[in-house]
Amino acid sequence: MVLAAGLGKRMLPITETMPKPLVRIAGKTLLDWGLDSLAAAGVTRAVVNVHYLPEQIVAHVAGRKQPAIVISDESESLLNSAGGIVKALPQLGQKPFYILNADTFWIDRNEPNLKRLALAWDASRMDILLMLADLDSATGHSESTDFLVAPDGTLARAAGDPTGLIYAGAAIVHPRIFEGAAPTPHSLNLYFDRAIADGRLFGMKMEGQWITVGTPDAIAPAEAVVAAALAQDA
């Protein structure tokens, strides 16, 4: 599930004429950075939700071969992160699935981070597994940390603790957490907190560089990090 339905208000004036997921970093849209990561992890089918200027995203992904794209149309009502997933559950099925934010991406170091996330997943212990980044490997992040990781891998809210890690905009979730939920506007944070209370929210620290693009002035630093990573691999 790729969350691409946001309004992108902080990216104005760029988003006056295009949805934020189609903003390009180093010649590739934010949406394609995420979809390419899913393809590299072996994902063959992805649901992309749309709301703002949806026809642009629909047209853009029409040419993709891998993964195959299913559109979840939220044109009538923006459903926030969790509401959009609940609406798309019929297309997502009964097995655990990835969730990706469409405005963050990363440069893998060795093994693709989404493959590492899948290897770390254990449905018997976990309801949600978050990919996490440290502040030193993050570009474009101007806020505090999100989670503290216990020795057993379970997570607690960091409450600004500088030793914490950042939610890197990628996760694996089991659809059972949405049982009984309605496709109305609500946030994934509700489910994170429930999983914390049950001891079933876990985290995995990613490898490589993590990039978030929230405002126009974040584009240049993001492109610099990509260029440096490509030069290192050359």
What Cα–Cα distance (Å) separates residue 233 from each residue in 28, 41, 138, 148, 187?
Answer: 18, 20, 19, 32, 38
Per-residue pLDDT tens over the stretch 151-166: 999 999 999 898 999 9
What's the distance, CA 14 to chain centroid?
21
Beta strands in 51-178 (DSSP E): 68-73, 97-101, 104-107, 128-133, 138-139, 147-149, 155-157, 166-173
Question: For residue 185, what are its two tokens?
Answer: 């506007």
Q: Average of pLDDT values for 6-27?
A: 94
State how beta strands 97-101 and 166-173 pair. Answer: antiparallel
What Cα–Cα distance (Å) separates residue 134 from each residue in 43, 88, 229?
Answer: 26, 31, 17
The half-sphere exposure of 187 on its side-chain side, counting CA atoms within 13 A, is: 4
Contact call for residues 8 and 15 (beta carbons, < 8 A): yes
pLDDT value of position 109: 85
12 CB neighbour count, 10 Å cutoff:
12
Per-residue pLDDT tens over the stretch 211-223: 999 899 999 999 9
Confidence check: pLDDT of 232 > 70 = yes
Q: With b meaning 16 or more CB within 10 Å and e meaning fewer, what string describes 206-215?
A: bbbbbbbbbe
Confidence check: pLDDT of 233 > 80 = no
Q: Where are the domains of the chain?
A: 2-233
Q: Could you give phi then psi for residue 107, rounded to 5 degrees? A: -105, 110
CATH number, span 2-233: 3.90.550.10
Beta strands in the chain (DSSP E): 2-3, 24-25, 28-29, 45-50, 68-73, 97-101, 104-107, 128-133, 138-139, 147-149, 155-157, 166-173, 201-205, 209-212
Per-residue pLDDT tens over the stretch 185-195: 999 999 999 99
Q: Could you give phi then psi for residue 45, rounded to 5 degrees? A: -150, 130
Nearest Cα to Cα of residue 136 among 76, 220, 205, 199: 205
Contact call for residues 80 and 186 (beta carbons, < 8 A): yes
Nearest Cα to Cα of residue 62 among 37, 24, 91, 31: 31
Per-residue pLDDT tens over the stretch 33-66: 999 999 999 999 999 999 999 999 999 999 888 9
Confidence of residue 234 (pLDDT cuts 50, 70, 90): low
**Single-letter amino acid, residue 210:** W
Q: What is the average pLDDT value for the chain, to the nearest integer?
A: 94
